[in-house]
Each structure stands twice: as structure tokens, then as C-alpha cells.
Amino acid sequence: MAEVGSGGGRTVRMSPDELPDPAVPLAPSELPDPAAVPEVPDLAAAPVAPETPEVPGAPDPNATQLCDPGAAVAAPTSVAARAARIPSVEDPALSGYAPPVPDGIDALSDPYFSPAAPEDLTEAQQVVSIQSPVESLSERKRRMSGWLIALIVVLVLAAAGGVAYLTYSMELWGGKTLPSVVGLSEQEARTRLESAGFSVEVEYRMGDENVGMVFDVRPSEGARADASRPVTIFVTGERLVPEVVGMTEEEATQALYDAGAADILVTRTNSEEEPGTVLSVDPPEGSAFASGDQITLTVAQPFTVPDVMGMTATDALVLLKSQNIVGHVTYVDSDEAGNTVVDVDPSVGAAIEPGTTVELSVSSPYPSEPTHLVDYFETAPEDLSAYLGDEGFSLVYGARYAHNGNAHAVYKGESGDMLHITDDPETAHYAGTSTGDVLAEGSGVGGVRYAFSAETLPEGGGRESEEGVRAVMEACGFEGLVDTCTQDDITVPEGVEVSDDYHFICAYGQQGDYTWAIRIGGSGESTGVVAMVAPTSHFESADLSLTGGSACDYIAYIDLFTG
């Protein structure tokens, strides 16, 4: 059942089936008789509401109304028309009761209420809003609590941050990470960067170490960088000798300094070019070099005698020839090293014409005498071979020691002197028929033994005394006598007998890095004078315990008693 309020305030209970359809207008025959409708008092004109009897359950007319009477839905065009639609209800209990003014809610629940007919809407009516005492569900949803809103905002921001971090770490934005390339070669670094999506530019910095390797990169390794902008790698480049030939000396020197050279040597050579013009550079142009390498500039100068003092004769002759000068060598005795230029004529720096002959005085590269045995060690083997040939010595035997490649050669002089080039000068043993000129082939000299003939023996050198020893020492250029021994005081290994046939004196001494020895005498009628020399290290390695630790006794024993 539904309760429908009437215009007079009476409640009429009707079932849903009995409610008229508000969308269907009533037929004229169904409308109540206007004459039967009681007159509706003019409430607006009544200053005071009439006294009404108290009716149980009736609404208090003085109570506050839920709705403003003026907030009713739009009324029909006239009061009479509205009154015509109100049914007549007679209720003695409500006699004299003035019902409250119907509001919009009452009208909507009135079974006799029907929408205004279009033909009645001849005038625009003011729309009246009705404030419902009940909040709608949508209104409640909109009135969300502040903490919930804050939570939602935090969650949204966190989700947005997570998405941003994930996409950033995936390098979908914010640039790409520069890979590590320092220490790689230029090509390796270029390949790695291009594979990561970067373009590459290269700058070279000249250096001495790690040439061709990357030593720096911009932006830095590991940084995020815009892949649309190039990455610069710094590579150590080779220092190259610049083109300086034809420049002046000053220009060439500055160019070399600019290229990183720190050690520049200027040499001058005779030339018909403008003096001061660079004729050549060493290392050649375009060659790689380190900053500490010496760069030599050859600069043109007028024809003068170049400085060849102290050069070897060979080097001096080569230099003179390169400057269109003829050189001539004269060997002289000198304290300087053999084969060294000790004087020049015209003098160094003197102005000359092209093709002039210059005399070079060179210290002799050969032994000053064939018997000056220490000089053999300071003579090149090739020069020594030529020298011995010039002095009339012929090769009797020639071979090499297998363990070190030194020469083992025997020469015989025109007067019968015997010269041995040997690692063991204390003995004259040799065997074989080989006659290779091993000195001419460059084999080294390990020791020298010289046996005098009667014709070459120095005066007094044949006497078996200290005076005879000193005569031979002078002939051989020996100095520094240390000790002597004879057949009377020699110490020999146990079991060796020194017979009365032996007669000799043996002496030894030290001169610089060499140990020399002289033996005068022999056994029976076999006698002779022998001088020998070897590096001191040779005798230090010998088994001197055989002769009581005496080098002199050891040399005499090996020479005379072992054949």
C-alpha cells in the first residue's frame, strides 16, 4: 500500500494497482465537480490561523515544515485549474482544520497529480529548486576523506616514480651510459662506442708511450650522455719527424721542438747550398721518435776542414769523402788508442776548396813492435792479420777454439821467430794442418806467446839472470815485475823430478788487466827465450795448487815439464 497525501492534508491509502498513472491525463468525466470542492481559504490573506481542534495523529500546523511552501513544483496556470484537480473529501473530524500548504513532495506523491499539460504552459514559470533532506549516494562518494586522497596521491606518485626509474634504467630516456674505453686501441674504442649508439670523434695527443691507445674520453666513462651528440676519445699519437729539409737551421729547430723533440744535434757539412740550410735530418722525415731521442740536423756550411779529431781513421776518411775532400792517412806513434786521428793538416775549420787533400795523422792501430805483445789485445784481429803479413810473418796453422771462437793461429817470422795466438800461451802445443786466416775473419785474441830467434833476441836477453829478464821485458814493453823462480827453488807437483838438466829463470808480472811471463833457459842443450801474456783472469782460473799457489812456478812447470 502507498500513502498518498491529498491537498487537504488527509492521507489516503491505496494499493499500487489503484494508483492512477501520472503520465495519463484524466478524462473530463473523471474530473471532480468543481462545485463540490469546498472553498479553499486564502491562507495568504489570513493573518492568524483559525483555532483547530486537537486531533490525535494529526500534524502540528505550527511545527516547522520540512519544505518551504514557496518551494513547491511549478503550479498550473490558475488556482481554479489546480483546485479543479483536488478531490472533495469530507471529514467531520477535520471540520475547521486548515491543512498546511501542500509542498512539492506532497504533490509528487498525490495520485491525482499529473504533469502540466503543454497547452497550460502559456507563460514561463520560475523554476523552483527543492532541497532534499536526504544526501544522494553520488554526493557521499564525492565527499572523500583527506587521508584517503593523500594516500591515493602518494601511491600515484610512487607508481609514476617507479615507472620513471625503470624506463630510465632501461635507457629509454635520459641518454645512454658511456662504456669503458680508456686503455683500448683507437679501433677497439670506436667499435665499442658505436655499438652503444654513440658517434665518435678522435683527438690525438703526441706521446712516447702507449701509442695508439685511448687515454681519456669526454664525457667521462660511466656517465649518461646524449647519444645524438658525439663522444670525443683522446688517443696517444706517434711523434713524427716533420719536414725540415730546406728550412733554415732556426726554422727546423723550432719545428722539431714543436713536434716534441728535446735533444737536437746540429752538424755542419761543406755544401754549395746556402749556408745555414738544412740538408738532411736523422731520423728521416716522417719517422717516429720519442721525445728523448736525439734528432740530428745536417746544415750547409762553406767548404772547411771538418772536425775529425779523435775519430778512427776509417770514419774520418768517410766524412771527408762525403764533403768532397780527399783524405790521406799517415800512421804515427802515439799514446792515443790505435787507429785514432791525432792531427790534421790543414787544421780543423780552415777554409778550403772542394777536392782539397787533407793529411790525417793516425795513431798506429798495430803493435808498435811485433814483440810488444800487450798491443795485440788492443788491435783489431783484421788489422793484426794485415800487420803480421806486413812484418814478414807467414801463417803456419790457423783454427778456432770451439768453446769461444777465439783464434788459435801460429805464425813464423822471416828470422825464425814463432808467434802463437792462443788461449793457453804457457804452452806451445798445437795440432793439425788447418791454415785458415782466422784473424782476418775476426776471431778474437785470447793470449799471445812469442819465441825469439837468435837474430831477434835483445842484447843480454839470453842470460839466465834477472838482468836477462829485464832486457826481454824492455823488448816486449812489459812492466810490473812481481816474482821470479829458477830450477833450484821451483815447486812442482808431487812425483815430478827436476833433474840437473834443467837450467832456467822464469819471471812474471802484472800490467793493467794482463799477466805476463818470461822464461829464459831450458833443459840440456835445448834452451830459448819465450815471452807470453794473457788476461789475468786466465791464470786466476788455473789450478795453481799444483805448484804451491805460485803463478811463476805454474807457468815454468807447464812450459818446461809438460812439453
3-class secondary-structure state, position 434 = coil
Contacts 24+ apart (CB under 8 A), 457-463: 457/529, 461/520, 461/529, 462/520, 462/529, 463/520
Tell me how far CA of residue 524 lies from CA of 85, 451, 500, 504, 528, in angstroms.
185, 18, 9, 10, 11
Confidence of residue 347 (pLDDT cuts 50, 70, 90): very high
pLDDT for 46 beyond 80: no
Tell me how far CA of residue 496 lies from CA of 116, 492, 539, in angstroms.
166, 6, 21
Q: Tens digits of per-residue pLDDT, 351-392? A: 998 888 999 999 988 888 999 999 999 899 999 999 999 999
pLDDT for 456 beyond 80: yes
514: nearest Cα among 492, 495, 534, 528: 534
- Residue 481 makes CB contacts below 8 A (sequence gap 6+) with 469, 470, 473, 507, 508, 509
**pTM above the 0.85 mark?**
no
3-class secondary-structure state, position 80 = helix
Give dist(CA 553, CA 547) in Å, integer.
6
Region 186-212 average pLDDT: 87
CB of 352 closer than 8 Å to CB of 303: yes
pLDDT for 475 beyond 50: yes
Task: Express as a percent the part of the chain with pLDDT over 70.
Answer: 73
Give dist(CA 220, CA 181) in Å, integer.
10
Say which residue the cell 788476461 belongs to. Answer: 535
pLDDT for 533 beyond 80: yes
The 3 state secondary structure assigned to 104-129 is HHHHHHCCCCCCCCHHHCCCCCCCCC
322: nearest Cα among 266, 357, 279, 270: 270
Eight-class DSSP state of 501: T
| Cell output for 563 | 812439453
pLDDT for res 167: 72
At position 152, the amino acid (one-letter code) is: I
Give dist(CA 95, CA 516) in Å, integer.
172
3-class secondary-structure state, position 265 = strand
Give dist(CA 123, CA 434) in Å, integer.
154
pLDDT for 545 beyond 60: yes
Q: Tens digits of per-residue pLDDT, 20-41? A: 555 455 555 555 554 544 454 4
Region 97-118 average pLDDT: 55
3-class secondary-structure state, position 476 = helix
pLDDT for 43 beyond 70: no
Residues paired with 264 in a beta bridge: 295
Confidence of residue 82 (pLDDT cuts 50, 70, 90): very low
Instruction: Give one DSSP letter per residue of 285-338, joined into a string.
Output: TT-EE-TTSEEEEEEEE-SB----TTSBHHHHHHHHHHTT-EEEEEEE--SSPT
pLDDT for res 116: 58
pLDDT for 442 beyond 90: yes
74: nearest Cα among 122, 35, 111: 122
Say which residue the cell 784473424 belongs to. Answer: 439
Eight-class DSSP state of 552: H
Beta-strand ranges (E) seen in 385-494 are 394-400, 407-412, 418-421, 448-451, 481-486
Give dist(CA 353, CA 42) in Å, integer.
155
Mean of the per-residue pLDDT values of the chain: 81
- Residue 106 makes CB contacts below 8 A (sequence gap 6+) with 5, 7
Say which residue the cell 498525490 belongs to. Answer: 110
Confidence of residue 334 (pLDDT cuts 50, 70, 90): confident
Q: Tens digits of per-residue pLDDT, 393-403? A: 999 999 999 99
Higher-pLDDT residue of 23 and 562 is 562
CA angle (457, 462, 464) in 5-degree steps: 150
What length does the chain have? 563
Region 287-310 average pLDDT: 91
Instruction: Give one DSSP letter per residue of 133-190, joined into a string.
Output: SS--HHHHHHS--HHHHHHHHHHHHHHHHHHHHHHHHTTSSS-EEPPP-TTSBHHHHH
φ and ψ at residue 522, rounded to 5 degrees:
175, -140
Q: What is the torsional sign of CA 289, 295, 300, 303? A: negative
CA 197 to chain centre: 23
pLDDT for res 130: 59
Confidence of residue 88 (pLDDT cuts 50, 70, 90): very low
